[in-house]
Structure 1
């Protein structure tokens, strides 16, 4: 006990000495704070990276497999232009001419390497013993109705076109632009492509107003990521206004509002400097760091300022004395809450999504600076400002307020409130298990984003935008011409087409069948893979020599013709369905083909589907470590093992309640929500620490029993907890309006968890403190009367 008392006295002495030092040297401290913040801010250099690759770590096995496939074939970064004429018929002279012109213009897209459209589709036909390969529709303006009717008939019978470039009705078609980005600077390359394509579409729509144009593909996806980052950065200004207004209303002090504003702005400026110094490129998840820091940094200032104002208004202390007393009471709680928040955000590094590493590290640094500025800049600035408050009269002081009334309500029925709370938490925990994981990347964006609505339109009217790919090997150079290989590949293609999830299959076996038919006078009985290897090789060589530049088979077969690429277009599947289908296809290859043909499924869509599960697995360890570290910190800070252990309940319960309520709201979680446990754990500890610290102070310094100590805690810290909770909810509510679902869903469930934390800390925590406290005889001779509890705020 003596050791604990000495440690407590040492902590109080340090806090008082620190406060007196800052107040004595207020001008040098203030100037040093300005220099530090501006010095760090001058190193800021915020660059944005919208490439979807940033979501995957370099060691991610799905990314490694996908990159390996793209090394063998052409890269498939693309822009899909989907054209819908108002007359609902692609096959008119005017419409085909317009499509042909847009196809030609699409070749001018920066970094373009291939353009596939219905007009330049390489149709094969026989002319005597010769193979004839040409555009399906060229010089469309010169075609007559009968020629166009023939083109339509050919197109609607072509498996490589229907449900890929053309819908079954012939009313919607696509132009697919493949680009080979250098990969030197995606922040410049992707916007360059996007600006050109948007300008090209505007010009096309001016000339052909009868067409609707929708865009999708990996380049528009990257653009949507980039523009979401910029939009979320803009939310910071809205949040700043809300913080100013909220702080002003709750503190009723213009000077307190000004100082709080300086603390949060300097914290953000310092974090911007950290971004520049570390060379971090911002992404949609990490771009919200200003709003995060702004929201969280307010809490430190609020606790110090509200206690100071209470001491001045209720106890009549001078500004300096009130400031010193507030620092004494709040220095350690603010330090502990800042530390636990930093620990919570640093646990994001255990995950498998680099943008969340950046968000965690940037916010952790910003919160460290927020603590520093809250304990230096804030008291120094407040010591300088001419703050005056009206001291309340004696009769106003003794009047009970809402917090004391609620405290008395809780202390009268701790058993009942504990039982009810635990039953509700248990029910919410059960519901939390009903959440399912779904990480469809299309749903990363809400319907205010053009990319989302355009992609939905394409899925409904033309083809799916989800796909998986296989690089199917033959075992030797030129082996793709082996009849056994072709028959197995053909069987795989047929099996894929039979699956209900599949919309379209693009495989080399289809090319082999088509060329074989044409080489036999377009006889339908020869629409099958060749039976002779030499014959198949000759047909392939003749076909390749007939293809124009840019429309070769490099996107389907590798250089030495030992492997071919199978692309499967799927319906919009959720993550578990996408993973299940890929595993089913891989298993079919293992069961029905020789070992050299066994292949794994890859694609960006599959990578995103697996990302959340991988993130959840990797974050589990981080969350456990965070919980252990934070519990140890609380045990040491509170200098009470039992209370430190007890604190786990009000710290974990809000997360369980939050996910339980989410099950009633959405019942689906995504990658962004996986980090919520570690992130909010550090935040909600704030309430627990401040409540417990005041509870212990009442027992240790004032000699109150458990019930009186609970009421005292409500009176002294209740208003601050409500204030910080309102600010936190406001901040995350603003972030919840983000068009980027990883951020908005994370923010929405954080609002639920933070509100749940306040309710639990106002009902369950004090009930548990009463039930677990020993009924000890008071040892303080001059017991402070109960009405003093109301005065000592």
Structure 2
């Protein structure tokens, strides 16, 4: 028997806690102040979540791309679909709106109607020069209408980039300084120039419906939504759990004590983020409300046990000691299994998930220590509970609920097993219908204005999520060779045929535009030069990029001329479609780019996220299996019985299968948010199993190894706490459905559903399985004395505790 988990150990802990009350309270206060001081180190992440490890091939390719071409996510787009834009009044209003953006040092480049440049041929210098598309000295309604016609008809280079010729939609670009894209300066820029107030004022002045999007804008508003929801979740979790707690216990005193404990736990969780210098991400943001939801069941078990002891013998000192000594092991083990559910995320190579697992599992252990210290100490200073405070222990609705369960497993055990098998079969069928989603924007708030703008750009310009193709020609200046240009053009034609991708942009577009400019801007000549034309047109291009005017090329070709990029944007598509698109592109790439001469790779934020989703799913399935194995080993060590391992696992695996099946039937995809459900739910739901089996083994010894009598006795005592805690957990996790983020809603709803069915499974299927083992255990070898005393045995006398 492990000394540190023995009954005598917990007796010793009980004495130490109750004899050093003042010191421990001061220690808790001091540690809380220390953790609060760490809040200043908390910061919201300004980088995007990367689900892949740093040394993953896809990450290496993406970082290589960034080194050559710089940050791709620095583009903000502003646009509208309104023919009234090309009027003197609206043009000047737009010019005034953009002028402030241009002046900001965070702006690297703007591509707007008033500063739009077009290529013209300079026959004297034999080069192309950039001239203004609009003469600001000639602005009038008539002039702008003429320019509108030229804009849509004579500039095929900008089609798909700045306008949709078919619908008349227009968009302009703001390129931010790449150095500030992943810093707080990005947020300052967006809030200064593109706040809702600024946009509304412009719309009111012009009557135009301004649409704003692009990764910097989306990330900033998305981050603001996450920050605003932290307070919502904490407040909602405190509100719902305190109401439920009061409903069960009908005691303001017990409710306030519990709220006090979990509020300190929340403070410690924020402090942990600051102490470890972790950023607040979409995952770590949900830890504080999680602490509330998980902490309240601890309070329920401890306070419920205290009140049961008071009702049994009326001795406060003995009751306080037993709160610690009798349920110390059980509460510790249940918290450890919950922490293990979150701790499995640490095993992944994803920094995002690993940090979430570290903070969550640490604070669950912290919470156990807080509950074990504060609740007995606070009650030691308070008067004895009154009769009204103990009335909930004999509530009629609970008696009726327990009686219904007893009747079900006594008379309808075959129906219980049949139902379980049916759920298992239906769940497995549903699992085969689950789809995988690797979309960046799927979990973003659907009702937010910026999400509606995303849909606008998806419809008019085929999306805002960048997908990049990098061509390594394996030799300097190889990207400008005519053979390479024609291969790139052939690949771009394939991209154009894919409806989920936007019109691609590359060096090919620039070369085509150069030929058009060479032929005096005639759009009919927007095509690659012929062999005969190459010599003099490419000479114009090379002359144009000399003397510091290399901006024409640097966006499409790296400084050595060896690497070229093709940029396209993709709609919000599912992983299945993305996989088919990837296969189609790879087939085309392998066909037109010989491997001995070219190396072509796909990258970009959308591609990295999609690959990260698959990587995450593979890792979390392994983590869930590891959690099941770990908890199985814990059960084996506790009960030393193979049958007990099976009996304990079945009621907890069944709800997971059922939830996975529901996801398949209702079209809820597997994605980074929903894959978390299973490890979290399993780690929490197994707590009820531990409590039930611990009490069951105790009843077995008290009832001379009679299974039936022991099961029903266990139901009457452990069933109430299991019901209370499960209801609190159900409604506690349900607060996440208040979120505007689809992933958080799915996480909360699925965990809540899983835990509700896990409660029913542990209260109905688990006892039914125990009753089916045997009529009377003559062979007690199946239930040897456990390695751990999970619940201390009742004894008549306890050593008195000094107050």
Q: Same fold (TM over 0.5)?
A: yes
Secondary structure, counterpart of 1:376 in structure 2: helix
Matching residue within 36, 41, 50 for 2:31 = 36
Q: CA deviation at 1:474?
A: 2.8
Partners of 1:736 and 1:748 within 8 A in 2: yes
Secondary structure, counterpart of 1:666 in structure 2: coil
- Whether 1:554 aligns to 2:549 is no
Partner of 2:792: none
Q: CA deviation at 1:219?
A: 0.7
Q: CA deviation at 1:689?
A: 0.8
Distance 2:490 2:779 in 1: 85
Partner of 1:565: 565
Partners of 1:91 and 1:148 within 8 A in 2: yes
1:701 and 1:324, CA in 2 relative to 1: closer, same or farther beyond 3 A? Answer: farther
Partner of 2:63: 67
Secondary structure, counterpart of 1:441 in structure 2: coil
Partner of 1:263: 261
- Whether 1:583 aligns to 2:603 is no
Q: CA deviation at 1:316?
A: 4.2
Distance 1:368 1:746 in 2: 22
Partners of 1:120 and 1:137 within 8 A in 2: yes
Distance 1:196 1:548 in 2: 31
Question: Bigger shift: 761-770 or 411-420?
Answer: 411-420
Q: CA deviation at 1:506?
A: 0.8
Partners of 2:42 and 2:279 within 8 A in 1: yes
Partners of 1:239 and 1:731 within 8 A in 2: yes
Partner of 2:682: 681
Distance 1:37 1:23 in 2: 20
Distance 1:74 1:238 in 2: 42
Residue by residue over 1:91-149, the C-alpha shift from the partner in whole angstroms, topping out at 9 and shown as x without a partner, is 33434444444444432244221212344333234576764532322417525626632
Partners of 1:408 and 1:711 within 8 A in 2: no
Partners of 2:651 and 2:762 within 8 A in 1: yes
- Whether 1:539 aligns to 2:540 is yes
Q: CA deviation at 1:207?
A: 7.5
Residue by residue over 1:207-243, the C-alpha shift from the partner in whole angstroms, topping out at 9 and shown as x without a partner, is 8331222221111222134213312311212211222
- Whether 1:291 aligns to 2:289 is yes
Partners of 1:48 and 1:187 within 8 A in 2: no
Q: CA deviation at 1:705?
A: 1.8
Q: CA deviation at 1:504?
A: 0.9
Distance 1:36 1:416 in 2: 53
Partner of 1:505: 504
- Whether 1:413 aligns to 2:412 is yes
Distance 1:439 1:531 in 2: 44
Q: CA deviation at 1:743?
A: 2.3
Partner of 1:785: none
Partner of 1:46: 42
Distance 2:83 2:516 in 1: 32
- Whether 1:190 aligns to 2:190 is no
Partners of 2:648 and 2:689 within 8 A in 1: yes
Question: Bigger shift: 335-344 or 204-213?
Answer: 204-213
Q: CA deviation at 1:525?
A: 5.5
TM-score, L = length of structure 1: 0.90
Partners of 2:88 and 2:144 within 8 A in 1: no
Q: CA deviation at 1:724?
A: 1.0
Secondary structure, counterpart of 1:442 in structure 2: coil
1:39 and 1:72, CA in 2 relative to 1: closer, same or farther beyond 3 A? Answer: closer
Distance 2:395 2:98 in 1: 79
Q: CA deviation at 1:545?
A: 5.6
1:511 and 1:16, CA in 2 relative to 1: closer, same or farther beyond 3 A? Answer: same
Distance 1:744 1:166 in 2: 36
Distance 1:287 1:181 in 2: 27
Partner of 2:728: 727
Question: Bigger shift: 266-275 or 615-624?
Answer: 266-275
Secondary structure, counterpart of 2:158 in structure 1: coil
Distance 2:571 2:548 in 1: 31
Secondary structure, counterpart of 1:77 in structure 2: coil
Secondary structure, counterpart of 1:443 in structure 2: coil
Partner of 2:719: 718
Partners of 1:66 and 1:602 within 8 A in 2: yes
Partner of 1:709: 710
1:566 and 1:187, CA in 2 relative to 1: closer, same or farther beyond 3 A? Answer: closer
Q: CA deviation at 1:186?
A: 3.9
Distance 2:521 2:779 in 1: 103
Q: CA deviation at 1:704?
A: 5.2
Q: CA deviation at 1:55?
A: 4.8
Partners of 1:201 and 1:213 within 8 A in 2: no
1:361 and 1:312, CA in 2 relative to 1: closer, same or farther beyond 3 A? Answer: same
Partners of 2:705 and 2:777 within 8 A in 1: no
Partner of 1:248: 246
Matching residue within 139, 144, 158 for 1:142 = 139
Partner of 1:3: none
1:491 and 1:328, CA in 2 relative to 1: closer, same or farther beyond 3 A? Answer: same
Partners of 2:38 and 2:272 within 8 A in 1: yes
Partners of 1:15 and 1:328 within 8 A in 2: yes
Secondary structure, counterpart of 2:738 in structure 1: coil
Question: Bigger shift: 519-528 or 445-454?
Answer: 519-528
Distance 2:574 2:123 in 1: 50
Distance 1:251 1:309 in 2: 10
Partners of 1:77 and 1:219 within 8 A in 2: yes
Correspondences of 1:579-618 after superposition (within 5 Å) = 579-595=579-595, 596-618=597-619
1:338 and 1:642, CA in 2 relative to 1: closer, same or farther beyond 3 A? Answer: same
1:50 and 1:504, CA in 2 relative to 1: closer, same or farther beyond 3 A? Answer: same
Distance 2:103 2:575 in 1: 36
Correspondences of 1:398-437 after superposition (within 5 Å) = 401-437=400-436
Distance 1:10 1:747 in 2: 34
Partners of 1:502 and 1:570 within 8 A in 2: yes
Distance 1:93 1:397 in 2: 76
Partners of 2:443 and 2:742 within 8 A in 1: yes
Partner of 2:76: 80
Partner of 1:787: none
Note the residue ranges of structure 1 that are not aligned, 5 or more in a row: 1-5, 780-791
Partner of 1:514: 513
Distance 1:730 1:602 in 2: 42
Secondary structure, counterpart of 2:385 in structure 1: coil
Partners of 1:102 and 1:204 within 8 A in 2: no
Question: Bigger shift: 50-59 or 378-387?
Answer: 50-59
Partners of 2:696 and 2:714 within 8 A in 1: yes
Distance 1:400 1:146 in 2: 84
Q: CA deviation at 1:175?
A: 1.8
Q: CA deviation at 1:327?
A: 3.1
Partners of 2:707 and 2:777 within 8 A in 1: no
Partner of 2:450: 451
Partner of 1:161: 158
Secondary structure, counterpart of 2:441 in structure 1: helix
Distance 1:737 1:346 in 2: 26
1:305 and 1:101, CA in 2 relative to 1: closer, same or farther beyond 3 A? Answer: same
1:412 and 1:155, CA in 2 relative to 1: closer, same or farther beyond 3 A? Answer: same
TM-score, L = length of structure 2: 0.89
- Whether 1:483 aligns to 2:497 is no
Residue by residue over 1:27-83, the C-alpha shift from the partner in whole angstroms, topping out at 9 and shown as x without a partner, is 333333333333333333321113215555423433332222122124233343433
Partners of 1:590 and 1:598 within 8 A in 2: no
Partners of 1:436 and 1:669 within 8 A in 2: yes
Partners of 2:76 and 2:174 within 8 A in 1: yes
Distance 1:60 1:653 in 2: 35
Secondary structure, counterpart of 1:601 in structure 2: strand
Secondary structure, counterpart of 1:133 in structure 2: strand
Partner of 1:226: 223
Correspondences of 1:305-324 after superposition (within 5 Å) = 305-313=303-311, 315-324=312-321
Q: CA deviation at 1:692?
A: 1.2
Distance 2:43 2:637 in 1: 41
Note the residue ranges of structure 2 that are not aligned, 5 or more in a row: 781-795, 797-803
Q: CA deviation at 1:352?
A: 4.4
Partner of 1:695: 696
Partners of 1:650 and 1:764 within 8 A in 2: yes
- Whether 1:22 aligns to 2:17 is yes
Partners of 2:307 and 2:385 within 8 A in 1: no
Secondary structure, counterpart of 2:490 in structure 1: helix
